[in-house]
Structures are given as structure tokens and as C-alpha cells.
Amino acid sequence: MALSDEIAERLLTSIIDGHYPPGTLLPVEDELAQEYSASRLTLREAVKVLRSQNIVRIHRGRGTYVNAPDQWTALEPMIRAEARRPGGTVSEKLIEARELIEAGSARLAAVRRTEDDLTELAELLEEMKETAGAGDTDAFVDADIAFHQVIMRASGNAFVPLLFQPFGRLLVDGRRETSAVPQIRENAIAHHQKVLDALRAGDPEQARQAMEGHMAQTADDLRTHVLKSDG
């Protein structure tokens, strides 16, 4: 990693950690260069990286200011910033994003899936049932995520699976957060069965509705069993 990129990453971490909240004027160039033991040119390049993602903005003659995360144009930094917010808003927003993408994926998969896809989905659903009964949350989450990945792949659109890659760890943590509750695991299994039945029937509208129902149940489970207990 280039030194300028490393400094940009360290600056971003300071911003996400709240050291430089939205609207804050960053220290002057000389001060930051001294803090990070870098030349002014290297520091300038680091700030340029953040500016390209709209994490900061430059006002001529006034300095460099931090923008709010909802103005940032890079997904990974925004996810990191959202993950630091309290109150479960990240999990709820993630479910909303999943619904937008996965309902459409299920609709496409209903007419494009193969028999091999259906077989794999059935096997993963059985694995979810077995691991739920054994109380193995990690294995349940692995099977759950794999089930959805098969559907996205079966959509026949190579861009769809890539849309979730930036969420990475956040997606896994969100599933683990809800799947740790036995009742939520039972609800998930029932809705996965409905999705699989719709895909077997080759009915795009039924598949879309089944996935939307699954997402709605997931959001309700989060509010009822996880966020409520946290409060």
C-alpha cells in the first residue's frame, strides 16, 4: 500500500471513530503532515483520496471539512461508519438493502434456475434444519448465506452476487445476530421453504413475494427478539 493510501486509511479511521465528526475542519496540512510523519505532498495525496470519495470537501481559503457519511460515495467507508452507529440501524438498513436486491434475484431465478440449483437449495435447507436443531449458529448462518448465494447465482445475472461483496463481515454478523435466537431460526426455515417452493414452481411473482415475506419476517424478528432485548 502506498504511503498516501495508508495515511488516507488512518485519516478515515479517525473520522469514523469520531475524532473528526461531520462538519469538522481538519487540521492544516503542515500539522497533519507532522502528525503522520509524511511530506506535505504525500499528505495532499491522502486527502485527495478522501476527497474523491466525498468523505471530505475542500473550501478554497478555508480548509478541508468532513462530510456526513450519507454524502460519501464509496460503499466500504460508509458501511464502516454505519457499523459504528448504536441502536441496530445498520442491521435494519441491511435488511432493506437485501430486500431490494434479493426479491428481484428470486424473481429472475424462478425462470432461470436449473435442477442442480434446486437440488443444492434443498440440501442447504436440510442443513439449516439440522444445524438449527443442534443449536449450531455458525453452521446455520453458513448454510443460510449459501442458500441466498445460490439464488443470486441462479438469477443468471453475474452482477447480482457482486453487489453484496462490499458488505462482507457486516452481512455475516447481521445473520449471526438474528440466527442466535431459536425462534428466529424456525421462522427462517419456514420462509426458506416457501422461497424454494416458489422457485420449484417456476413462478416469478410467487418467488418475489416469498422473498419479500422472508425479509419482512427477518426485520420483524430483529425488532422483536434482538433490538427489544438490547433495549
60 and 145 share one domain: no
Of 74, 95, 126, which residue is a domain's last?
A: 74
Q: Looking at the structure, do residues 25 and 124 belong to the same domain, yes or no? A: no
Same domain, 190 and 210: yes
- Domain range for residue 67? 3-74
Is 29 or 108 the better-scoring residue by pLDDT? 108
* pLDDT value at 138 more than 90: yes
Q: Is residue 79 part of a domain?
A: no
Q: Please give the model's pTM, rounded to 2 decimal places.
A: 0.74
Looking at every residue in the chain, the average pLDDT score rounds to: 91
Range scoring the smallest mean pLDDT among 111-115, 146-150, 175-179: 175-179
In one-letter notation, the amino acid at residue 114 is T
Secondary structure of residue 158 in the 3-state scheme = coil
Residues 6+ apart with CB under 8 A from 173: none
Cβ–Cβ under 8 Å, residues 179 and 140: yes
Letter string b/e over residues 90-106, b meaning 16 or more CB atoms within 10 A of that residue's CB:
bbbebbeebbebbbbbb
Is 171 in the same domain as 127?
yes
Give the lowest-confidence range in 77-91, 113-127, 200-214.
Answer: 77-91
pLDDT of 112 above 90 = yes
Residues 156 and 101 in one domain: yes
Looking at the fold, whether 220 and 114 belong to one and the same domain comes out as: yes
Q: What is the pLDDT of residues 46-82, one digit of tens each?
A: 999 999 999 999 999 899 999 999 899 988 888 788 7
* Cα Rg, the chain, nearest whole Å: 22
Domain end among 32, 47, 74: 74
Residue scoring higher pLDDT (201 or 231): 201
C-alpha grid cell for residue 126? 436440510
Q: What are phi and psi of 61, to 5 degrees?
A: 80, -5
Is 80 a domain residue? no
Q: 70 and 148: one domain?
A: no
Q: Residues 45, 138: one domain?
A: no
Axis-axis angle for helices 204-221, 182-201 (nearest 10)? 170
Counting the structural domains of the chain, the total is 2
